[in-house]
Structure 1
Amino acid sequence: MDTQTVIQVSSISKYYGSNTAVDNVSFQVKKGELFGIVGTNGAGKTTLLEMMMGLRMPDLGTIHVLGRDVLSEADLLKEDIGIHLQSTTLIDKMNVREALELFQSFYKRKNDLDLIINQFGLEPYVDKMVKRLSGGWRQRTALAIALVNDPHIIFLDEPTTGLDPTAKRDYWSLLLELKRQGKTIVVASHDMEELQRNCNRIAVMRKGELVACDSPPALISNLPGGGMTMEAVYMQYAVEYKKEQQHHITDDSIRALNLLM
């Protein structure tokens, strides 16, 4: 693994009984990248993230994160990564500061909580119960929790689901600021517009397989039907279509499909 590669995924597979959740997937993530992962529900995105975080072990293949083997060094790895909680249920009965302090207590390395609170604009909410925050502020709090140990890599699983457009834009602005600070960010999301605008590269999953991985402009330019957006890429590569349909997924066809739904 070269000095610029912070995540090396090599031929990993994960099985649940007779079901294959992730099938022989390989890719790299470079230092400082904002790396997106897309796919339909059940495509293997969350399982892939959990294996990179050391929460699940691959049945085949290897994963190295910051030079650590997730199979044998998962406990050490947790000090260097941050995880955005998909659900805030665990912290709903705490106020914002209590939640930050609780999760920081799990780590040896500590970030300055007051700096985090200031960076995320959480000062007016530090004494407010998390469950009483709006969706956008709950997600800000969850992202702030992911930074309490000053991690090198942040993993996010569908962080903007359910947010209104303004809250989504604000959240992505926070991610871009973290990227400017040198953080590497790996995010699984269905937010195609923001992924296209902000990601360095995007991996497309379908039925456990990695079917495409490149920059948004490259993915779009390679579309056989001439689409212009990541929505067209998603429909071409991530969604199961009959073979005769797969070579003609354009933005116009997406709009037509939406009218029929």
Structure 2
Amino acid sequence: MDKQTIIQVSSISKYYGANKAIDQVSFQVKEGEIFGIIGTNAAGKTTLLEMLMGLRMPDIGNIKVLGHDTLLETDSLKEDIGIHLQSTSLIDKMNVREAMELFQAFYKRKSDLECIIDQFGLAPYANKVVKRLSGGWRQRTALAIALVNDPKIIILDEPTTGLDPQAKKDYWALLRQLKQQGKTIVIASHDMEEVQRNCDRIGVLRKGELVICGKPLTLISELPGGGMTMEAVYMQYAMDVKGVLAYRD
């Protein structure tokens, strides 16, 4: 049975002065997917994620998340979304449990924090100050915080940047567990190997445009001239090495 569409993005554009950060982008995300977004720096990834969260509004077009219009129903939307942004500075001076309790207080719906702590292996660190954790455990804590409201959708902005290979592997293992629990995950990443291995579909942004979207192996197999990896897809479409642009969904 086909999964229902849980995120519908329809012809959105976003301007910052004369700069068009997002240009007529449309796509959809199905329930239970891991949907990856890749692109170079300044391609528009963070702006797009912020609009999905309801933190920024499109100047043109509309976004519906779980049937909520992000422009008109921001308060309803936030209850169903968990967010992991790049910075953890807001929680650096708290211990892990305090940070989770603080963010949980912002929501009506609440998860069992001890269950999250156990699932993420955070029990030995629960009373440690976040700033003193290694990069991998800091990111694991940030992901745990994204779950304090038992969200249906989790939005992640390059969460594994700067992590060592083992920490990246562990982080993606947690994401796969969340997918198995029925969570829908949207993640921007520069780790081509991991998005190839773990994402159900991937959208490629270039200068604010969604230039192609599809399953990883399909994108790889249909590369002009042949290609073997998602890195080749990135070079072809995100960097436009050969000048080929196409959209497929």
Which structure would you say has the larger Rg? 1
1:129 maps to which residue?
Answer: 129
CA offset at residue 240 of structure 1?
Answer: 4.0
Q: 1:170 to 1:3 in 2, by over 3 A?
A: closer
Q: Which one-letter code corresponds to 2:56 in the other structure?
A: R
Q: Quick one: distance in 2 between partners of 1:193 and 1:182?
A: 23
CA offset at residue 77 of structure 1?
Answer: 0.3
Q: Kindly indicate whether residue 208 of structure 2 is the aligned counterpart of residue 208 of structure 1.
A: yes
Q: Give CA-to-partner distance per residue, 1:33-60, whole Å, 9 cap, x none.
A: 0000000000000000000100000000
| Equivalent residues in 2 for 1:236-251, closer than 5 Å | 236-241=236-241, 245-246=242-243
User: SS state of the match for residue 202, structure 2?
Assistant: strand
2:247 maps to which residue?
Answer: none
Q: Quick one: distance in 1 between partners of 2:240 and 2:7?
A: 29
1:217 maps to which residue?
Answer: 217
Q: Quick one: distance in 2 between partners of 1:146 and 1:86?
A: 12
1:4 maps to which residue?
Answer: 4
User: SS state of the match for residue 224, structure 1?
Assistant: coil
1:43 maps to which residue?
Answer: 43
1:117 maps to which residue?
Answer: 117
Of 143-152 and 77-86, deviating more is: 77-86
Q: Which one-letter code corresponds to 1:224 in the other structure?
A: P
Q: Quick one: distance in 1 between partners of 2:214 and 2:91?
A: 36
Q: Which runs of 4+ in 1 moved over 3 A?
A: none
CA offset at residue 76 of structure 1?
Answer: 1.1
Q: What TM-score does the superposition give when structure 1 sets the normalisation length? A: 0.92
2:28 maps to which residue?
Answer: 28
CA offset at residue 3 of structure 1?
Answer: 6.9
Normalized per residue, which structure has more helix? 1
Q: Quick one: distance in 2 between partners of 1:137 and 1:240?
A: 36
2:139 maps to which residue?
Answer: 139
**Structure 2: which 5+ runs fail to align?**
245-249
Q: Give CA-to-partner distance per residue, 1:103-148, whole Å, 9 cap, x none.
A: 0000000000000000000000001000000000000000000000
Q: What TM-score does the superposition give when structure 2 sets the normalisation length? A: 0.96
Q: Give CA-to-partner distance per residue, 1:224-244, whole Å, 9 cap, x none.
A: 121110000000000143xxx
CA-atom RMSD in angstroms? 1.1
| Equivalent residues in 2 for 1:246-257, closer than 5 Å | 246=243
Q: Quick one: distance in 1 between partners of 2:136 and 2:197?
A: 20
Q: Give CA-to-partner distance per residue, 1:128-183, whole Å, 9 cap, x none.
A: 00000000000000000000000000000000000000000000000000000000
Q: Quick one: distance in 2 between partners of 1:225 and 1:104?
A: 50
2:65 maps to which residue?
Answer: 65
Q: Quick one: distance in 2 between partners of 1:164 and 1:32?
A: 27
